[in-house]
Amino acid sequence: MTGRGTLRVYLGAAPGVGKTVAMLDEGHRRRERGTDVVVAFVETHGRPHTAARVAGLEVVARRTITYRGTRLPELDLTAVLARRPEVALVDELAHTNVPGSEHEKRWQDIERLLEAGIDVISTVNVQHLASLNDVVEAITGVPQRETVPDAVVRAAEQVELVDMTPQALRRRMSHGNVYRPDKVDAALANYFRHGNLTALRELALLWLADSVEDGLQRYRDQHGIDATWETRERIVVALTGGPEGETLIRRAARIAARVAGGDLLAVHIVRSDGLAGASLADLERQRLLVESLGGSYHSVAGEDVAAAVLGFARAKNATQIVIGASRRHPVVAGLGGPGTGMTITRLSGAIDVHVVGHDFVGKGRRLPVPSHGLTARRRLAGVLTAVALLALLVPGCAVVRDDLGFGTELLLFLLVVVIVSLVGGFYPALGTALAAGLLLNYYFVEPTHRLTISEPENAFALVAFVVIAVLVSRVVDSAARRSSEATRSNAEAETLAALAGSVLRGEEALPALLTRVQETFAMRSVALLRREDDAPASDGGRRAASPSGTRGTWSYVAGIGVDPCLRPDDADAEAAVGDGLMLVLAGRTLAAADQRLLAAFAGQVALAYRQRELAAAAAAAAPLAAADRMRAALLNAVSHDLRTPIAAAKAAVSSLRSREVRWSEADRGELLETAEDSLDRLTALVTNLLDLSRVQAGVLPIGLAAVGVDDVVGHALDAGGVGPDTGRVVVDVPGGLPEVTADAGLLERVVANLVENALRYSPPGAPVRIAASTHADTVELRIADAGPGIPEQDRDRVFAPFQRREDHATPHSAGVGLGLAIARGFTDAMSGTLSLEDTPGGGLTAVVALPVALPGRQRGGSVPSVPSVPDQAPHNRA
């Protein structure tokens, strides 16, 4: 069975560096060694040097595909598979095949050749790699539509860089070795600028370096190599979540910056049980700092911190580790033996370890003491339980002393200690153990009623009893503490999950966060304050100036609850959010255990606040963007539709004034008619632009009165010269319709625009039909055409200005797509509606609905506010 073929790729930073020549030269070398080589597809781009390299190699004929009337050559995959060479040369790996080919992309053709056991040599430029496509476009300003997945190139057995300096490539272009002479100047001034070529060359080198690194890591994994190979400086900084983290990160970043291509990796080791005591807020700030410095943040679970850090460093092939000097107190360090830092240093091997000093060295805990996993009420209950049980046990054991041995008495007292430890924790159990030892000595050890022991065996038993009791109490207290921490961690996780869910469900982030804080900590109110020195308060925001001696003046940003605090000094709990922000809570004082969850909320509040600020900035920029779009559309309109009638009128008038030509009366009349038509078109266009600007600015003068629809329709048709007698319009408007409340002039303009629009798109011989009818308290005027219509999904978007449904549908039509926009604006201004629907039998019907006039309605009624016209849409019939 034939194995899979191998792929070799020549990678270039830009066209013209010599990839295809290098591929062809490799083909010649292999042919000379006796290998069966064919040219499956090579694109010479008319370069004689490249074409000369093809000579002497067998070329497989190309397949020709006809597409849109053009015959285009493509790789003949079937012919190459039938020829079955040992090596096939296939140029342009990222090429998109002509529709009708077997595969969409050429790299898919190459995959078929590889599956058939044929070795392939190909070429690709860095701008065609999918991961770098947008980067290259940002650098050069030229979009690249043909891309190849990075994984295809990375999977190649060999990737060879064809390198050339920018100066050498530009010289090659100047000599005409890349493009034709008529294209050289433009290419050198645009895509092939020196800076562009330098940036593309760096991208190619970095991408290839990453590809080589992936290959090296695969080799190390396959051969089980754990030793550090110093191929690149990688600095791992170990974070505890403590306050010294930022100092360590900045020091590691400076070390990484001293070497070219240095990588910064931050790692935090969390206990596998998830009960780490690190501050979530501090870790979040440190993560953001690492990423802002160009590094990456990692979280690894493990009980042995030193082993976990070293394992991570070796897995990443790190060369240096940065750790902080121990925060343990010297007393603790002396009793506890070597710490994590010393262990990492001792076991690091070839990895260099930097121990960085900071302001918190030696300021940690003095002695490890049992934490209070239980509440004060539980500890008091433990003390009472101990008193009660000992008060009952001592008399009871004294009564049956003759029937019990000393070992049994020890077990009974030990049982009391265990019960007390379960109820009250370590300290009550410790006191119970000591009291039990004294009671046993006084009442049950010879000589009784004296604190002396005559038998060494009894002395050993008492000491063992006390030690066992203390150890059991310690274990029970630790279990209670872990259970409490697990319960709290579970509650915190549920709280944060509920918070994330509320945001994902679309709730506004900042109010949702503040509400969650209030509910979680049972507070009366929660507020977000901002220091006025950092940023001015938003309009309408409340401000509170703190008296002298407090922490400055704060402005109110957002809040929830009753009487939110306006100063941090008035709050019962607070958490710094960052960027001059403070989260303040009122209602009760938070326990120390709640501060960590509050810090996590504070970090989320900071993100939500920044998100809200960005959204506000985007909203403020939206009108400017809309104005820019309108301005661009207006300029486009002026550049063509406004200039055309001006040019026609000027040409006609200039011809009439010319003394070199004697015009006949017919020619003179035609020129005058052309000038008049052009000026009429210009007048209509300027009028529409002015009307549109008035509608959008909300300053359109409106005089509402009772208007007869039949009169308005007649005047509109007469003014447009398309009355019923012309046969182009069929009118069915009954004379007995009730009057409507409208502005007669504006309504006439609406009808004229809609009729003009309908006539433009109706086929020859198909008249436009106008009908009117009453519906409830409105009168509906329908203007129907038999044209192509508009898809239903586009009907709400066709009323944008400067848009036409089909620019080339009517070659001789004028206008800039304002008819429907102005008609909609005028209709809305008169409290009416304009909608579109299908015409039975094909076409489009515009429906204008206006309210029926109330009895006694007089001219000059109230003027409603004028709604704005949409800025832009993809289609418009006008």
As averages over each run of 10 residues, the pLDDT of the chain (878 residues) reads 84 90 93 94 87 91 85 90 94 90 91 93 91 81 84 88 88 81 76 84 80 61 59 82 84 80 82 56 80 84 82 84 76 57 83 82 50 67 88 83 75 83 80 82 76 69 74 72 66 59 54 77 84 51 41 78 82 78 84 70 77 79 66 53 73 81 83 84 70 59 84 81 73 87 85 85 86 88 88 72 45 49 80 88 90 64 40 38
- Give start-end residues of each CATH 3.30.565.10 domain in the chain: 701-851
560's tokens: 């929830």
How many CA atoms are closer than 13 Å to the CA of 363, on its beta-carbon side?
A: 9
Q: Cis check for the bond before 447: say yes or no (omega within 30 of 0).
A: yes
In whole angstroms, what is the distance from residue 546 CA to residue 383 CA? Answer: 47
3-state helix, strand, coil in the chain (%, to 5): 50, 15, 35
Residue spans in the chain of domains classed CATH 3.40.50.620 = 234-356
What's the CATH fold of domain 7-221? Rossmann fold (3.40.50)
The long-range contacts involving 442-447, CB below 8 angstroms and separated by at least 24 positions, are 443/394, 443/397, 443/398, 444/397, 444/401, 444/406, 444/409, 445/406
- The residue type of 61 is A
For 160, the token pair is: 């060879």
Place of tokens 């429906």: 847
- Pinpoint the alpha helices (H) of 562-664: 592-637, 643-657
Contact 142, 193 (CB under 8 A): no
600 neighbors 497 (Cβ within 8 angstroms): no
Residues 466/437, Cβ–Cβ less than 8 Å = yes
3-class state of residue 193 by DSSP:
coil
pTM, whole model, 2 decimals? 0.39
Interatomic CA distance for residues 141 and 459, integer angstroms: 90
Cα–Cα distance, 475 to 27 (Å, whole number): 75
CATH of region 234-356: 3.40.50.620
C-beta separation of 297 from 226 below 8 A: no
Q: Is 668 helix (H, G, I), strand (E, B) or coil?
A: helix
Sign of CA dihedral 689, 690, 695, 697: positive
Which residues in the chain are classed under CATH 3.40.50.300? Answer: 7-221
What is the predicted pLDDT for the residue at 733? 87
Q: Beta-carbon neighbour count of residue 615 at 10 Å?
A: 12
10 Å CB burial of residue 832 (0-12, 13-18, 19+) is buried
> What's the pLDDT score for residue 782?
92
- End-to-end CA distance of the chain, in Å? 67
Q: Using only the alpha carbons of the chain, give its radius of gyration.
A: 43
CA proximity to 600, closest of 287, 283, 280: 280
Q: Do the Cβ atoms of 595 and 576 come closer than 8 Å?
A: no
**Domain 701-851 top-level CATH class:** alpha beta
Q: How much is the pLDDT for 313?
A: 86
**Residue 388 in tokens:** 């009660």
Q: Tell me the sheet residues that pair with 66.
A: 71
Neighbours of 149 (CB within 10 A): 14
